[in-house]
Structure 1
Amino acid sequence: MSILNPVRGSQAVYAINPVAKLLAALLLSLTLVLSIDWVSAGVALVLESVLFLWAGLGLRTFLLRALPVLIAAPAAALTTLLYGRPSGQVYLQFALVNVTDGSIELAVATGLRVLAIGLPAIVLFVTIDPTDLADGLAQVLHLPSRFVLGGLAGLRLVGLFLEDWRSLELARRARGVGDSGRLRRFFSQGFALLVLSIRRGSKLATAMEARGFGSSGARTYARASVMGWREALLIALAVVVALVAVVVSVSTGHWNFIGSQS
């Protein structure tokens, strides 16, 4: 399944308006960045993990899409563990490395927060079709049509961009110039792809302008983008997850508002 062209399954999440998915992800993200504590992030992650079962993604697909987040979370936690603010008992001290009770707690909170923010955003983005997203941005949020259509065209060209890179690589190897000097080959091939992309983008912009995509008049859409009960349910679930995470964190005394950090 491709991010640009997701396979629609029987799961209801695919039919939810992309605008609602973006709002739900934004709501969770804004709530979790308000506090640096492991309780709120952990509670949110547990509740989100239960909801992931209804996302319609297989385990392999989920792990592949979430791989950057799964790598970034422990990396951020390790960095915080070694170089975080020292407080409490000291377990290891060497040069700039200072592992203490405070750095351990902060490292756990950082890792959980990266997972709690990144994983739902990835899951929701995978189930978004670019055309549906463009319809929602234009019809629900009323963003300028030139911006929306330009973004849609750019997303549609991502797959072609990757194919061009493979074609350039095969062509260079066929001419005997792609077997050595990986770093030099990467930059020269990247420059060739940049030139090709600029030319294609210029042609596409001219074609879209000629077909009236740049018109300032009222635009019609082939499909209506509406917000219904599914969208309301998704946003309500995001609100519930955020509220439960905040309430549990505050009630246990772990809430650590970022504004109180000196």
Structure 2
Amino acid sequence: MYTYLVINSDSQLSVMVAQWKQQGIKVLAMDFEGEFNLHIYGEHLCLIQLYDGSSFYLIDPFKVSPPSLKAFLEDSEIEKIMFDCASDSALVRKEFGIFLENIYDIRVPALAIGYTGNLSGLVEKYLGEQEEKPTGSKKKNQMTNWLSRPLKDDQVQYALSDVAHLFALKEILQTAIEEKGLAVQVAVTMKTIAKPKGPDKPGWTKFASWKFLGKEEKIYLKHFFIVRDTLARKYNVPAVRILDKHILLDLAKNVPSDAQGFQPFCYRSGMSSKQELVNLLLQARENAVTELQDA
């Protein structure tokens, strides 16, 4: 069982950062837990787990203000060891405008020496330990509600286990890449690993089959996606509760001509919002037709 300190105020975080620096602690292991359109609308940072090599900490982002989070996460004097930081860096960038600084992503050296698996596999491979997650499978915990407070102890133990081995793995992987002459290449990649690769793409372009759609299908998908997003935000529900991605694609490929044609696609919505969804989809269809005519 991991013992830990909860950081739940701006002043507490400020004091903790100052203490780390005074003690010469310039490296922390870090991971995030978030909400990704599973229980409410949108993506939200729910927890930050930290390990300084001897003690564990939890930052509650519901209690610590965005400016304080930004000051800490963008502090270039403190290196943060993470594993596969891409989704976490995107999360805080989109939600708070935070750009992670001084990140050492151990997935980079792992990939450099040919390892393509997950963190648990990395721990087992290089540390000879098979992690026993307190509540079962990783998938189960990824589906858990990290928005809830207070967090259950098994949630906390699961979250902290993701930072417990990062220091040891970093040391092992650094030695491995140095032996293979890959240290310079890894260092170059690390400089931009937490940075966006370009402008954030609209959600409708992230469908796996996007590149295979025709011009008209792409335009219809865009307008139907915007409808789904608008209603999900309005009612603060996961977007899939309005229309799932398979239905959106089906609508884009087989566009109904009238309200009756849209009705069968709207079965996920409650009775109170079903007609609203149908009306919005009809308007989206007209918007798409207008865009096609103007193209």
- TM-score tier, shorter chain, comes to under 0.3
TM-score, length-normalised on structure 1? 0.26
Of Structure 1 and Structure 2, the greater strand share is in: 2
Of Structure 1 and Structure 2, the greater helix share is in: 1
Greater RCO, 1 or 2 (C-alpha within 8 Å, sep 6+)? 1
